[in-house]
Each structure stands twice: as structure tokens, then as C-alpha cells.
């Protein structure tokens, strides 16, 4: 998604710098017209008006911003930092505090849409933060987002909306797996079950997308089981911090954690169905 | 749905009789062109080639077919009976046995689509049964269905597909309620949360349809909590009969049963959200 977002910035006419540990990705971005791209921000951090941080988790956010040779200390005061990892509201607030101490403006701005939407400059952004942060990062938002939801001014609200979205996404995958597993047990052909559900009120975006992998017996990881172990853990931690019960999401977390422990962590998240014993699932057809 | 299906039969040119305990419904069907309509089948049962049974549960199916002045004893041998209630596979097989003893052909044929699709002759039918039953009931299927899924020959498969569909529908409503309840607790405006989810991969048909009722604070029962208490009970019984675990659907059943016991049984099924304590939900706007 970082590559797609960076290319969208270039396409929008913004002077764009790329940072990635992978040299091939940096070369590709230079070829696409980036001013510079490399493994570190030395040499151009002081030139930046805005930073878009697209990493996996809060630890990576902190390493980039506040770790050894960290970016935050090198940015000019007033620079906008758009933090777009899926992280907890508490982490989001903590990172904002670290940035504020250096005079930097943060947008709590998780994204969705995957690599395809990112490449098209059409990511969905769910953002919270001060008006000054929104203004400072407007050129970046205009370049990378198809839709920006302004959740509020308080840092942490953007993170929470993304986490609640992931609650639904995770429960829907697990529910799809549970339904298809029961169908297999009952002797229903899974392609028929899939066709009925995807044409009826029991459908979900995740059922339609992920249960196709089960029907095809293809667990190539478009998004892995371990991503939902992480995200449903964030969901659970969020509920714990609010003293709130989550009967379904807690159960879904258990199902994904069990799938990971069973050795399916790096398979497609639809592989959560493999933890149901006593059924025979479709196998991948040889081409 | 019975009224819509009956009118679709009339529109298709079939000689149509209606049976309903409600005199107004019978009058409406006579006005629409039915040959006859009343509270009982006396006088025309022997004329029928096919019967479409659209009732709420297995007890009603048995009462109509095998109860006092029951229909089954009055039908000619070889008549097709399309059983379209949402019932268990075991009930479906038991009813088929009773019909077979009288030389009658059964189609295990639950439907979905609601009153709107029924009125348009566009119900979705998930059917299992012998070829003779499908052939005998083809004029009725052609008249009432937009789509017929042929699940197999074995009675009970149609019922099971419908029940697994209801598993997903029920879990998706409960998950939607859980997500919106957490959003309320976290201080996220629910209309914003609704808009984000319905435009992203966390969406489901049920989230989009039912959580709008929560956003509007309107629990007018389009489909009531008690319907999902019944349907998730069937889901649970199906899994028990197959010795299969259902971590999410069992939890969703608990949530709907609790909502019913709390006094919300006849409210819209979105009212399952009202069992989450410690939150403030939107109230209905006065017009």
C-alpha cells in the first residue's frame, strides 16, 4: 500500500520521497519519479511538509519516529505526520504526545482498501486530529484517498473506528468459516452453499471474498491468519480498556489464535476453517 | 409471503386456491382472481396438483397436513407438496415420511426474499427432493421463484441450507450490534461508524439493513428478535444433531435469547443491541 500511496503522491505533482528497507521497492519508486528513495530519511527529512507512515503496527511506528536515527527529531516543527497503521487508540495517543513534544502535528489516520485501491489513489481514510493537522496534510489526503471520513478532533478516534471495522471483518470471516464447515459436515456441496449465500441476505463482503478460497481449496495468503490474530487482539484490548464485553469478537479471536497455533498463521485467513475437525474440505484443483 | 406467492401463481395463469385464517387476506386473494380462498381446504383439496405451504414452523406444517381435518388425507396420490417453512432437516424428513405414506411427493423447499420478492414472483428457493417432486411442482416454482437452487435429491438438504444461511444472517446482526455498541461506548458517532462500514470490507447485507435501524433509533419490527431466537435455535439443534461445534452461532443464540428475555422479543431484531449495558443509543427523531 505504501508504494501505491507514494506513486499517487507523485501523480498528484507532490515532491515525493520514499523510505523502505527493500532496495527493489526504492528503485521502483525512483523510476516512478520520486525525488529520492532509500532505507533512511537522512538528507531530506528537513525538507518535508508531510509524512505518510504506512507500517504494520505500533512498534514499527515508534521505531521509525522515535527509534535510533528516528525521523521525528529531524522534521521541522509544524510538519504533519499521518499515522496510518492499524494500532490501538492508546498507542495512537502516545505517539501523538511524542510528536507534539517536538512540535509536530499528527493525524490519527488508519486506511483501508488494500494495494489495489492504494495504487489508484483511492484509499479510504478514517481520520481524527486537529484542524491544523488536516490542513497541513490536505495535499497528501487529496493525493492518496478516494474518501476521507473525519471522525473528530480527538486523537484515538480514527484508530478506534478502524479497529471496530476490523471487529466486523474478522467476525465475518470466522462466521463464514463456521457456516461452510457446518455445510461440509451436513453434506451440502460447498459451491452450492457459496452460491446461495452470496445471492441472499446472509452475505457479507468477507464471506463473498474469502469463502471463495475455501470453495477453491486455495489458501494462498492474500491476507494472512496472523493479521487477524493481531487485529482481533487490538479489538479485544480496546474493549478491555473500555470495560466492555465482546461476546462474538472474543470468540473470533480465539478461533484465529487457535488457527495460528495449529500452524496456519501464514496461510490465507480463510484457513481458520481448518481448525474445524471431522470435515473434508475441497482441495485445490491441479491446472 | 404467502399472499405474494399466491398472486404470482394467479399471474402465471395457474388455477389458484388460498387458505388463511384471516378473512381479509382471503377476500384480497379472491379479489385478485383466486378460484377460492378461505380458512380450510374443504371442497377443493381433491382438485389440486400442487400445494405450496408457507407457514412459520414445523408445528404449523404438521397441523395443516396431519392435524384435525388435515390436508394430506384429502389430496390425490401423486400431488406435490412444497414445504417452505424454515424447519429442521429432521422435521423435514419426518414430514416427508408422513406424506409418502399417503402417496404424496414432497419438495423440501425453504425460501428467502421476504414479502417484496414474494409479491414480485422472485423468491429464492433452496430445494431438495426427487425428480418427480421437482417436475410436479415446476409450474409453481416457475410462478413464484426468481431463482431455484437444486441442492440434491435427499429431503433435509434444502432445510439445512436455509438453516446455515440463517446462521450467517443471525451472526451478522449480532456482530453488527456488538460493533455499534462498542462504537457508542468509545464515543464514535454511530452515523459515522455506519457510513464507514457500509463503504468498506467490514460490511454485510444485515449490517447495512439492520444497523440503519439503530442509527435511526427505530425498532419497528420488520423482522423480530424472536424470529432469530427460533432460527438460531434451529441452527444450534442442527449442529447438535451432527455433533458439530458452532462457537459463533451459539454465542449469537445466547445474545438473541437474552434480548427476548429482557422484553425485546417483538421489537426489530436490531434491538439485540439493547442488551449491551453502559451505552447511550440514538433515539428516534420526532417528525
Q: Looking at residue A285, what is its pLDDT?
A: 87
**Per residue in B119-169, pLDDT tens?**
999 999 999 999 999 999 999 999 999 999 999 999 999 999 999 999 999
Residue A196 has pLDDT above 80, yes or no: yes
Residue A162 designated active-site: yes
Going by their DSSP bridges, the two strands B145-152 and B36-38 should be labelled as unpaired
Instruction: List the one residue out of A193, A132, A167, A136 whose CA is nearest residue A246.
Output: A167
* B223 φ/ψ angles, rounded to the nearest 5 degrees: -145, 130
Per the CB < 8 Å rule, is B151 touching A245?
no
Rounded CA separation B155/B151 (Å): 10
Residue A251 has pLDDT above 70, yes or no: yes
Contacts of B196 in chain A (CB under 8 A): 124, 126, 149, 161, 165
**Per residue in B251-279, pLDDT tens?**
999 999 999 999 999 999 999 999 999 99
Average pLDDT over chain B reads 96
Q: Looking at residue A113, what is its pLDDT?
A: 83
Cite the DSSP H helix spans in B32-156: 58-66, 89-101, 114-119, 131-136, 138-144
Rounded CA separation B2/B22 (Å): 12
Q: Which of B154, B182, B205 lies at the smallest CB-CB distance from A239?
A: B182
Residue B229 has pLDDT above 90, yes or no: yes
Instruction: Extract the C-alpha cell encoding B68.
Output: 384435525
Per the CB < 8 Å rule, is B186 touching A175?
no
Q: Which of B112, B244, B245 lies at the smallest CB-CB distance from A200?
A: B112
B109: alpha, beta or left? (left if phi > 0; alpha if psi -120 to 50): beta
Instruction: Say how many C-beta atoms besides its own lie within 10 A of residue A51's C-beta.
Output: 25
Residue A32 has pLDDT above 70, yes or no: yes
pLDDT band at B202 (very low <50, low <70, confident <90, very high): very high
How far apart, in Å, are the Cα atoms of B171 and each of A248, B165, B178, B204, B247? 8, 10, 10, 11, 11
Q: How far is B210 from chain A (nearest CA, A)?
A: 11
Rounded CA separation A265/A224 (Å): 6
Residue A232 and residue A238 in contact, taking contact as beta carbons nearer than 8 Å: no
Can you spell out the DSSP letters for A170-203? HHHHHHHHHHHHHHHHHT--HHHHHHHHHTSTT-
Q: How far is B276 from chain A (nearest CA, A)?
A: 8
Q: Looking at residue A287, what is its pLDDT?
A: 64
Q: Looking at residue A222, what is its pLDDT?
A: 87
Rounded CA separation B59/B144 (Å): 24
Per the CB < 8 Å rule, is A182 touching B202?
no
Instruction: Extract the C-alpha cell encoding B189.
Output: 458517532
Rounded CA separation A83/A57 (Å): 10
Domains and CATH numbers, chain B: 2-154 (3.40.50.720), 160-275 (1.10.1040.10)
Q: Cβ of A124 under 8 Å from any chain B Cβ?
A: yes
Instruction: Extract the C-alpha cell encoding A254.
Output: 480465539
Q: Cβ of A172 under 8 Å from any chain B Cβ?
A: yes
Q: Looking at residue A244, what is its pLDDT?
A: 98
Average pLDDT over chain A reads 96
Rounded CA separation A206/A217 (Å): 16
B128, B188, B243, B246: best to mutate for the A interface, most A CBs within 10 A: B188
Residue B117 has pLDDT above 80, yes or no: yes
Active-site residue identified among B162, B274, B285, B287: B162
Instruction: Over range A81-99, report the average pLDDT.
Output: 97
Instruction: Extract the C-alpha cell encoding B204.
Output: 454485510
Rounded CA separation A196/B164 (Å): 10
Residue B287 has pLDDT above 70, yes or no: no
Q: Looking at residue B114, what is its pLDDT?
A: 82
Instruction: List the one residue out of A247, A164, A237 whose CA is nearest residue B189.
Output: A164
Residue B165 and residue A196 in contact, taking contact as beta carbons nearer than 8 Å: yes
Residue B115 has pLDDT above 90, yes or no: no
Residues 7-66 of A with CB under 8 A from B: none
Which residue of chain B has the CA closest to A179? B164
Instruction: Say how many C-beta atoms besides its own lie within 10 A of residue B264's C-beta.
Output: 23
Instruction: List the one residue out of A165, A279, A234, A170 whose CA is nearest residue B248.
Output: A170
Instruction: Over range A149-170, report the average pLDDT.
Output: 97
Instruction: List the one residue out of B157, B173, B207 whose CA is nearest residue A190.
Output: B157
Q: Looking at residue A270, what is its pLDDT?
A: 98
Contacts of B154 in chain A (CB under 8 A): 187
CA A209 to chain centre: 17
Amino acid at each position: 500500500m505504501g508504494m501505491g500511496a507514494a506513486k499517487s503522491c507523485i501523480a498528484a505533482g507532490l515532491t515525493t520521497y520514499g523510505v523502505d528497507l527493500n532496495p527493489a521497492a526504492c528503485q521502483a519508486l525512483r523510476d516512478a519519479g520520486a525525488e529520492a528513495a532509500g532505507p533512511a530519511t537522512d538528507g531530506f527529512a528537513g525538507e518535508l511538509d508531510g509524512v505518510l507512515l504506512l507500517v504494520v503496527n505500533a512498534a514499527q511506528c515508534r521505531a521509525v519516529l522515535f527509534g535510533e536515527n528516528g525521523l521525528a527529531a529531524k522534521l521541522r516543527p509544524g510538519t504533519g505526520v499521518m499515522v496510518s497503521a492499524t494500532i490501538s487508540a492508546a498507542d495512537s495517543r502516545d505517539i501523538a504526545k511524542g510528536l507534539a513534544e517536538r512540535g509536530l502535528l499528527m493525524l490519527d489516520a488508519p486506511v483501508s482498501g488494500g494495494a489495489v485501491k492504494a495504487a489508484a489513489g483511492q484509499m479510504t481514510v478514517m481520520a481524527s486530529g486537529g484542524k491544523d493537522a488536516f490542513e497541513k496534510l490536505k495535499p497528501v489526503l487529496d493525493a492518496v484517498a478516494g474518501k476521507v471520513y473525519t471522525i473528530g478532533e480527538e486523537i484515538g478516534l480514527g484508530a478506534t473506528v478502524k479497529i471496530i471495522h476490523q471487529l466486523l471483518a474478522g467476525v465475518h470471516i470466522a462466521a463464514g468459516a463456521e457456516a461452510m464447515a457446518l455445510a461440509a459436515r451436513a453434506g451440502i456441496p460447498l459451491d452450492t452453499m457459496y452460491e446461495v449465500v452470496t445471492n441472499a441476505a446472509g452475505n457479507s463482503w468477507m464471506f463473498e471474498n474469502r469463502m471463495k478460497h475455501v470453495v477453491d481449496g486455495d489458501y494462498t495468503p492474500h491476507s494472512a491468519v496472523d493479521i487477524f490474530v493481531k487485529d482481533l487482539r487490538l479489538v479485544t484490548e480496546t474493549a478491555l480498556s473500555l470495560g466492555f464485553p465482546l461476546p462474538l469478537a472474543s470468540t473470533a479471536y480465539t478461533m484465529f489464535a487457535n488457527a495460528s497455533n495449529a500452524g496456519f498463521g501464514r496461510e490465507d485467513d480463510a484457513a481458520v476453517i481448518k481448525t474445524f475437525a471431522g470435515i473434508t474440505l475441497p482441495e485445490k484443483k491441479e491446472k
